[in-house]
Structure 1
Amino acid sequence: MASRTKQNGSLAVQDGRTLASLINDLLSQPGFVTRIATQDYHPADHISFASNHPPPNNRPFESFIEMKNPAPDRKTESKPQQLWPVHCVAGSPGAEMIPEIDAGRIDLFVQKGKHSQIEMYSAFADAFGNLDPAVTSQSVNVDIASVLEKKGVTDVFVVGLAGDYCVKCTAIDAVKAGFRTWLIEEGTKCVVPANWGKAKEELRVAGVSVIHADDPIVKKLAVAVA
Structure 2
Amino acid sequence: MTNPGFRPALLVVDMQEDFCPPNGALPVPEGRSIIPLINTLLSLPTFHLKIATKDWHPPDHISFASNHTNTTTHTTKRPFLDTTTITNPHNPSETYTTRLWPVHCVQSTPGASLVPELATAQLTHTIEKGQDPRVEMYSAFYSPLKDPRVSDSGLAALLRSHGITHVYVVGLAADYCVRCTAEDAVAEGFETYVVEEGTRAVDPGLWGGCKAEMVGKGSVEVDTGSL
When normalised by structure 2's length, the TM-score is: 0.87
2:135 is the alignment partner of 1:125: no
Q: Residue 37 of structure 1 corresponds to which residue in structure 2? A: 52
1:142-183 Cα distance to aligned partner (Å, 9 max, x none): x01001101000000000000000000000000011100000
Q: Residue 114 of structure 1 corresponds to which residue in structure 2? A: 131
Match for residue 89 of structure 1 among 72, 97, 106: 106
| Cα distance, 1:69 vs structure 2 | 1.7
Q: Residue 87 of structure 2 corresponds to which residue in structure 1? A: 68
| Cα distance, 1:6 vs structure 2 | 3.2
Whether contact under 8 Å (2:51, 2:125) holds in the other structure is yes
Q: Residue 105 of structure 1 corresponds to which residue in structure 2? A: 122
| Cα distance, 1:4 vs structure 2 | 2.5
| Cα distance, 1:129 vs structure 2 | 5.1
Separation in structure 1 between the aligned mates of residue 148 and residue 220 of structure 2, nearest angstrom? 21
1:178-211 Cα distance to aligned partner (Å, 9 max, x none): 1000000100000010111011111111100111
**One-letter amino acid matched to 2:170:** V
**One-letter amino acid matched to 2:78:** R
Separation in structure 1 between the aligned mates of residue 151 and residue 127 of structure 2, nearest angstrom? 13
Q: How does 1:72-221 map to 2 (within 5 A)?
A: 72=90, 74-128=91-145, 132=149, 135-137=150-152, 140=153, 143-215=154-226, 218=227
Separation in structure 2 between the aligned mates of residue 121 and residue 129 of structure 1, nearest angstrom? 14
**Structure 1: which 5+ residue stretches go unaligned?**
219-226
SS of alignment partner, residue 35 of structure 1: strand
SS of alignment partner, residue 21 of structure 1: helix
Q: Residue 6 of structure 2 corresponds to which residue in structure 1? A: none
Separation in structure 1 between the aligned mates of residue 142 and residue 205 of structure 2, nearest angstrom? 25
**Higher strand proportion, which one?**
2
1:88-135 Cα distance to aligned partner (Å, 9 max, x none): 000101110000100011111110000001000000120335795xx3
Match for residue 30 of structure 2 among 15, 20, 27: 15
SS of alignment partner, residue 116 of structure 1: coil
**Structure 2: which 5+ residue stretches go unaligned?**
1-10, 18-22
Separation in structure 2 between the aligned mates of residue 60 and residue 94 of structure 1, nearest angstrom? 17
Structure 1 residue ranges, 4+ long, deviating more than 4 angstroms after superposition: 129-132
Q: Residue 221 of structure 1 corresponds to which residue in structure 2? A: none
What is the RMSD of the two structures over their aligned residues, measured on CA atoms? 1.5
When normalised by structure 1's length, the TM-score is: 0.88
Number of aligned residues: 208
**One-letter amino acid matched to 1:15:** E
